[in-house]
Structure 1
Amino acid sequence: MNSLARILRSASALWPFYLGVVLVSTVAAALGLVSPFILREATDTIVSTLRGETTVAEVTTTLLVLALGLLLADLANTAMTNVGGYIGDVMAMRMRQILSTRYYAKLLALPQRYFDNQVTGTVIARLDRSITSITQFLQSFSNSFFPMLIQVAAVLVITTWYYWPLTILLALLFPIYMWLTTLTSKRWQKLEGQKNEQIDLANGRFAEVIGQVKVVKSFVSEVRELDDFGSRYGRTVDITRPQSRWWHTMDTARGAALNLIFFAIYLLLFFRTLNGFFSLGDMVMLIQLVNMAKQPVFMMSWIVDAAQRAIAGSRDYFKVMEEEFEPTANAQLIAATQASGVPQLDVTPVQPLTPVAGLPVIDFDRVTFSYLPGEPVIRDVDFDVSRGETIALVGESGGGKSTLVNLLLGLYPIDEGHLRVCGRDITDLSAAELRASVGVVFQEASLFSGTIAENIAYGRPGATDEEIREVARRANAHDFIERFPKGYDTVIGERGLRLSGGQKQRVAVARAMLKDAPVLLLDEATSALDTRSERAVQAGLDELMKNRTTVIIAHRLSTIAGVDKIITLREGVVDEIGSPDELAASGGIYAELLQLTASSSAADRARLRRYGLVIDGEDNTVEPE
């Protein structure tokens, strides 16, 4: 239970709800205790009348008053129980809001390496299962179980006043139950962890398949994916069998132990009453009080089961929360993971850096980096890019081109050397400052569900309609957008599925244009397009690149023929640096590529593709508009 207590402590902003639950539960428990005392008086009154000690007329008013008191106590108890339920429900949802916000903030502040080893659907499934189990337990505990525990405490005090051995028997219920539960817990949680692992894997794959259902259908893999999904849930059934058998075997032992204790309690009450130590009314009252204690004890089987799930879920939650932050993570994200409540966030866009006169805008100073320890992808990379200069990175696939882009975005920390952007070392910048200064157009446009206007304005949410339209015109996107019935308000679906490849890329170009960062990265921005779409996108890219420091990873040599400088990479090491004309005559990689482009042999074309290049005039993949 330490992990649940840790969650309650960390969400200290909910203390008014905690206090409300305690106060309302105490009042509800007190009102619930009124009924047994009223019933005792009514029973003794009726018994005395039946014995002839009083007349019916004498006790009629008393019985009416007692019945009215019983009604009022029950009505008040019902009202307070529902007030407590309301407080518990709101508290649970506020708790869910806090935990979910923290989890989301943590994920957003984690380094890219974490996501390299995760399945998106698994991350989502873990959020849903972990936080749902925690909040459901807290909701049930505060709404039902906690008021009962207060009642039990009061019952123990009352029974001590009447007959202390009765209290001893009642008090034995709880340690015996908890001891038997402890014997159950460790094995149960181990099996629950195995089940959760299978569920996370199944749900993670589920999210992947639904997100790429076109690929699944095209490879006729629906039945195979369904079989894999069903098999994983089948394993949860196999795990549930011994888990449930163990749980219910131990629960039977717990129930039997409790039944024996209640048997002794009832015998005690019956014989104490028979021997004149208790009146009949006392017996009725004490039996009701014992039943009040009995209810939460037997409910403990369910509440412990819910607590076990919550504890297992909280472990998954805290495992993520204990991951190391991205070194330059946004301070607001870090604060949000530690806030006691829902943080107030400043969503004002971070301003990009201003290039320093006389200094390179991009400066790689003997940079070495490896994704895996001891396996460097780039080594001693050393070059700089001046303000307004356009450079192209050329090299075989896997040679480190995209890695340089990842480093410029601050997605990974470098191992050795220094990387400066706009005259500032990236280790002195926050991730937000660095990324605000770098615009990027990837090979995959990566749009979001929502409208076209919202996607263009993603980097600058406060942009006006006219600013959005202006960049769309410059990106060669305005005309096709206007052809949609709803224009810029057209909802494009998840990942922009309603748009063709060329249309998505032009929206992505407009998005980068509106961001207006001093550094622009084009990571094979047209490689997945047919020739017609590429021309339309390239026109937008040419506009985007004006007066901007640009790094290009291109898939056609014609795209980079007009750059200021080409940097060739061979196995992660800078091989040559020079203008296209200089490198064309150097006999290096670029000169070799120019020769291969002029060749029509299949072997030479295959060699080109190893560099991620295709012949001009060859369509690459996606459908035309």
Structure 2
Amino acid sequence: MKSILRIIRATRELWPLYTGIVVCAVLTSVSSLLAPFIISGATDTVVNHLNGSEPTTGMAIAWFAVAYLVAQLFNVITSNIGGYIGDVMSQKMRTILSVRYFEKLLTLPLSYFDTELTGTIISRLNRSITEVTNFVKAMSNTFISLIITTVSVIVISSIYYWPLGLLLIIIFPVYLWLTSKTSAKWQVWEGKKNQNIDIASGRFNEVIGQIRVVKSFGAERRELDLFRTHFGNTVGLTREQSRFWHSMDVARLAFLSLIFFGLYLLIFLQTLAGNFSIGDMVLLIQLLAMAVAPINSLSWIVDSAQRAITGSKDYFDVMERDSDARALAITAGTDVPTRPHTIQAETGQELVRFNEVTFGYNGEEDVLHKIDLSIKRGERIAFVGESGGGKSTLMALLEGLYDARNGSITVDGMDIAGSDLETVRSLIGMVFQDASLFSGTIAENIAYANPATSREQIIAAAKKANAHEFISKFSDGYDSLIGERGLKLSGGQKQRVAVARAILKDAPILILDEATSALDIKAERAVQKGLEELMVGRTSLIIAHRLSTIATVDTIVTLKDGRIEEIGAPAELAVSGGIYAELLGLQNQGGKASKKKLQSFDIVG
């Protein structure tokens, strides 16, 4: 239960609601306990009247019925008020936990997402938080009242006849002990089931996101079989889990039946001996009936608690991970504007500096080795090298998505390792090879960097990106919904929207990570026109895939095995005998072998 208590402590702002639930539970329990006493009094009054010892009237008996009605109505009102508070509390808890989970994910280093499936992350969120909040809701709506009622029944029974209270006291710890015997095995099975569900859910998300690839390769049956296998595993695990649980339940209920046999026998014998009146007997029988409900609920409560404990462990496993030390200081529910930074470097002066930078992914060997590079403001610089040579990784380091193992990176004199990443990233615009659009409207995607942007500014950016013409042809224009990841747009259209998005951000540093490599010639020309507009007056870092694009830059940096091999102007490197000269030679040679070699450098001609 430590995990559940930890959840409650983590949502301490809900304490007023917790208090309201407890108050309602106490009042509900009190009204429930009044009913047996009222019925007991009515029973003794009727019996005494019938045997002539204490004659009474119909009006007196009617008052017992009125008292019973009032107690029941009060019980209904307080239990439903408590239920209402519990519903609101559980939804607020779900909101708090979900927002904190999402907030945590946004601050985790990118390396976390390199090893986690999106579907698994989503499945964990849904399962963990749902199971925790469902248990807390059930506990608040019923469990607290049951506990109070149970304690009251034990106390009252002990007052009437102490062996009754003793037997009731014995029931609960023994029953809980028998139930707890299943806990360790139950959690192992549940953990295995969750693992299978997470894997299946993660794959499900991937398959739906890549459904065109799946259908193109005729892999529907294989994906379905894999999905079925993982969920089929949960059936087998559930069989073992349930068989063990219910075999233990037989032992628990057999013990319970034996104890209640003794309780009822004691009540009947004491009544027969004259130690209890008929009303006392009725009262005690009703109290025992009230004690049966929480005892019978223990199995369900423990089952729900185990699910919640398992879910909370998954939740806190994510929450306890170390955030990126340089993660943006975000707080859910706040909208803090990016702190503006005025570029100090003049045109032609150093703006970006890679100083002896070495980097490798977690658990992997270094992929970049002592990168030493100076980039001037207003410079257009292209990066060329074999696929996997570290070009995109270098750009990711500049954005602060990963930490360098050694060395430093500065932007306008700011060391990004110790600077506010929000400020650093505000200086950088990106156009990716994959446009990476969101579901929603075209206008929302263009204005992603600043949702408060006016429609006029959005249209102006689209025109510069050579996108206004095709956007205007949609029936809803800029308000057209483009579907998940922009699936309603062609590759060229998506890239032009991405270019417009970068134009609207108006960052002084621009990274073009193979922004046109996935496009045909016609689409590339349309996008390239927008890119040329975008690069005007900016410091541009280009990972290009066409030599014609590379030839127009100021500087070329060639990378080989994660190291800088050459730095120079295109004309210089064309005759240096290095990588760039080799690429030019291959392009001029033509032929299959030359094309294959060019492709190894991400160059298509």
Q: Please, what TM-score do these two structures have when normalized by structure 2?
A: 0.98
Q: 1:310 aligns with which of 292, 308, 311?
A: 308
Q: In the alignment, is the contact (CA less than 8 A) between 1:25 and 1:84 conserved in 2? A: yes
Whether 1:525 and 2:515 are equivalent positions in the alignment is yes
Q: In the alignment, is the contact (CA less than 8 A) between 1:378 and 1:572 conserved in 2? A: yes
In the alignment, what sits opposite 1:130? Answer: 128
Counterpart secondary structure, 2:357:
strand
In the alignment, what sits opposite 2:575? Answer: 585
Whether 1:345 and 2:343 are equivalent positions in the alignment is no
Q: In the alignment, is the contact (CA less than 8 A) between 2:129 and 2:315 conserved in 1? A: yes
Whether 1:365 and 2:340 are equivalent positions in the alignment is no
Q: 2:451 aligns with which of 442, 457, 461?
A: 461
Which one is further off, 451-460 or 159-168?
159-168
In the alignment, what sits opposite 2:188? Answer: 190
Whether 1:448 and 2:410 are equivalent positions in the alignment is no
The residue type paired with residue 77 of structure 2 is: A
CA-to-aligned-CA distance 1:80-118 (integer Å, 9 cap, x gap): 111111111111111100111111111111001111101
Q: In the alignment, is the contact (CA less than 8 A) between 1:445 and 1:504 conserved in 2? A: yes
* Distance in 2 between residues matched to 1:475 and 1:53, nearest whole Å: 101
* Distance in 1 between residues matched to 2:237 and 2:124, nearest whole Å: 19
Q: In the alignment, is the contact (CA less than 8 A) between 2:345 and 2:377 conserved in 1? A: no
* Distance in 2 between residues matched to 1:248 and 1:498, nearest whole Å: 52
* Distance in 2 between residues matched to 1:330 and 1:372, nearest whole Å: 21
Listed as ranges, the matches of 1:97-136 within 5 Å are: 97-136=95-134
CA-to-aligned-CA distance 1:177-226 (integer Å, 9 cap, x gap): 11112211011101110110000001111111111111111111111111
Q: Structure 1 residue 50: deviation in Å?
A: 1.8
Q: In the alignment, is the contact (CA less than 8 A) between 2:382 and 2:557 conserved in 1? A: yes
Q: In the alignment, is the contact (CA less than 8 A) between 2:29 and 2:148 conserved in 1? A: yes
* Distance in 2 between residues matched to 1:154 and 1:324, nearest whole Å: 47
- Count residues with an aligned counterpart: 604
Q: 2:320 aligns with which of 309, 314, 322?
A: 322
Counterpart secondary structure, 1:118:
coil
Whether 1:298 and 2:296 are equivalent positions in the alignment is yes
In the alignment, what sits opposite 1:554? Answer: 544
Q: 1:431 aligns with which of 408, 421, 433?
A: 421
The residue type paired with residue 532 of structure 1 is: K
Listed as ranges, the matches of 1:264-413 within 5 Å are: 264-332=262-330, 336=331, 343-352=332-341, 354-357=343-346, 359-373=349-363, 375-413=365-403
Whether 1:7 and 2:7 are equivalent positions in the alignment is yes
* Distance in 2 between residues matched to 1:296 and 1:350, nearest whole Å: 57
In the alignment, what sits opposite 1:605? Answer: 595
Listed as ranges, the matches of 1:80-95 within 5 Å are: 80-95=78-93
The residue type paired with residue 613 of structure 1 is: I
* Distance in 2 between residues matched to 1:481 and 1:271, nearest whole Å: 89
The residue type paired with residue 192 of structure 1 is: E
CA-to-aligned-CA distance 1:501-554 (integer Å, 9 cap, x gap): 000000000111111111110000000000000000000000111111110000
Indicate how the Cα distance of structure 1 residues 456 and 499 shifts in structure 2: closer, same or farther if over 3 A, else same: same
In the alignment, what sits opposite 2:42? Answer: 42
In the alignment, what sits opposite 1:66? Answer: 64
Which one is further off, 488-497 or 152-161?
152-161
Q: In the alignment, is the contact (CA less than 8 A) between 1:352 and 1:518 conserved in 2? A: no
- Percent identical among aligned pairs is 54
RMSD of Structure 2 on Structure 1 (CA): 1.2
* Distance in 1 between residues matched to 2:342 and 2:212, nearest whole Å: 41
* Distance in 2 between residues matched to 1:50 and 1:348, nearest whole Å: 83
Q: 1:504 aligns with which of 477, 485, 494?
A: 494
Q: Structure 1 residue 311: deviation in Å?
A: 0.4
The residue type paired with residue 577 of structure 1 is: I
Indicate how the Cα distance of structure 1 residues 181 and 351 shifts in structure 2: closer, same or farther if over 3 A, else same: farther
The residue type paired with residue 590 of structure 1 is: Y
Counterpart secondary structure, 2:438:
coil
* Distance in 2 between residues matched to 1:287 and 1:554, nearest whole Å: 85
* Distance in 1 between residues matched to 2:170 and 2:317, nearest whole Å: 37
* Distance in 2 between residues matched to 1:282 and 1:313, nearest whole Å: 46
In the alignment, what sits opposite 1:79? Answer: 77
Q: 1:537 aligns with which of 527, 546, 556?
A: 527
Q: Structure 1 residue 355: deviation in Å?
A: 4.0
Q: Structure 1 residue 261: deviation in Å?
A: 1.0
Counterpart secondary structure, 1:427:
coil
Q: Structure 1 residue 374: deviation in Å?
A: 5.9
Structure 1: 4+ residue segments shifted above 4 A:
none
* Distance in 2 between residues matched to 1:27 and 1:348, nearest whole Å: 49
The unaligned stretches of length 5 or more in structure 2 are: none
Q: 1:234 aligns with which of 232, 235, 241?
A: 232
The residue type paired with residue 315 of structure 1 is: K
Q: Structure 1 residue 258: deviation in Å?
A: 1.3
Q: In the alignment, is the contact (CA less than 8 A) between 2:433 and 2:516 conserved in 1? A: yes
The unaligned stretches of length 5 or more in structure 1 are: 337-342, 616-625
* Distance in 2 between residues matched to 1:506 and 1:579, nearest whole Å: 29
Q: Structure 1 residue 350: deviation in Å?
A: 4.6
Q: In the alignment, is the contact (CA less than 8 A) between 2:551 and 2:570 conserved in 1? A: yes
The residue type paired with residue 79 of structure 1 is: I
Indicate how the Cα distance of structure 1 residues 213 and 347 shifts in structure 2: closer, same or farther if over 3 A, else same: farther
Counterpart secondary structure, 1:568:
strand
* Distance in 1 between residues matched to 2:218 and 2:336, nearest whole Å: 45
Listed as ranges, the matches of 1:239-278 within 5 Å are: 239-278=237-276
Q: In the alignment, is the contact (CA less than 8 A) between 2:35 and 2:68 conserved in 1? A: yes
* Distance in 1 between residues matched to 2:338 and 2:75, nearest whole Å: 52
* Distance in 2 between residues matched to 1:230 and 1:89, nearest whole Å: 35
Q: In the alignment, is the contact (CA less than 8 A) between 1:353 and 1:433 conserved in 2? A: no
Q: Structure 1 residue 53: deviation in Å?
A: 2.9
In the alignment, what sits opposite 2:554? Answer: 564
Q: Please, what TM-score do these two structures have when normalized by structure 1?
A: 0.95
Indicate how the Cα distance of structure 1 residues 352 and 258 shifts in structure 2: closer, same or farther if over 3 A, else same: farther
Counterpart secondary structure, 1:52:
coil
* Distance in 1 between residues matched to 2:254 and 2:423, nearest whole Å: 65
Q: Structure 1 residue 331: deviation in Å?
A: 2.0
* Distance in 1 between residues matched to 2:53 and 2:101, nearest whole Å: 70
In the alignment, what sits opposite 1:96? Answer: 94
The residue type paired with residue 204 of structure 1 is: G
* Distance in 1 between residues matched to 2:577 and 2:536, nearest whole Å: 31
Counterpart secondary structure, 2:366:
strand
Q: 2:212 aligns with which of 204, 211, 214?
A: 214
Q: Structure 1 residue 434: deviation in Å?
A: 2.1
Q: In the alignment, is the contact (CA less than 8 A) between 1:353 and 1:422 conserved in 2? A: no
The residue type paired with residue 376 of structure 1 is: D
* Distance in 2 between residues matched to 1:349 and 1:378, nearest whole Å: 31
Indicate how the Cα distance of structure 1 residues 374 and 48 shifts in structure 2: closer, same or farther if over 3 A, else same: closer
Q: Structure 1 residue 353: deviation in Å?
A: 5.5
CA-to-aligned-CA distance 1:111-168 (integer Å, 9 cap, x gap): 0111110110011001000000000000111101111111112222212221121111
* Distance in 1 between residues matched to 2:453 and 2:338, nearest whole Å: 11
Which one is further off, 367-376 or 389-398?
367-376
In the alignment, what sits opposite 1:144? Answer: 142
Q: In the alignment, is the contact (CA less than 8 A) between 2:338 and 2:422 conserved in 1? A: no
Counterpart secondary structure, 1:35:
helix
Counterpart secondary structure, 1:21:
helix
* Distance in 1 between residues matched to 2:128 and 2:149, nearest whole Å: 31
The residue type paired with residue 76 of structure 1 is: F
* Distance in 2 between residues matched to 1:302 and 1:182, nearest whole Å: 12
The residue type paired with residue 500 of structure 1 is: S
* Distance in 2 between residues matched to 1:270 and 1:518, nearest whole Å: 90
The residue type paired with residue 328 of structure 1 is: R
* Distance in 2 between residues matched to 1:183 and 1:314, nearest whole Å: 21
Indicate how the Cα distance of structure 1 residues 30 and 132 shifts in structure 2: closer, same or farther if over 3 A, else same: same
The residue type paired with residue 80 of structure 2 is: N
Q: Structure 1 residue 373: deviation in Å?
A: 4.2
* Distance in 2 between residues matched to 1:145 and 1:559, nearest whole Å: 69
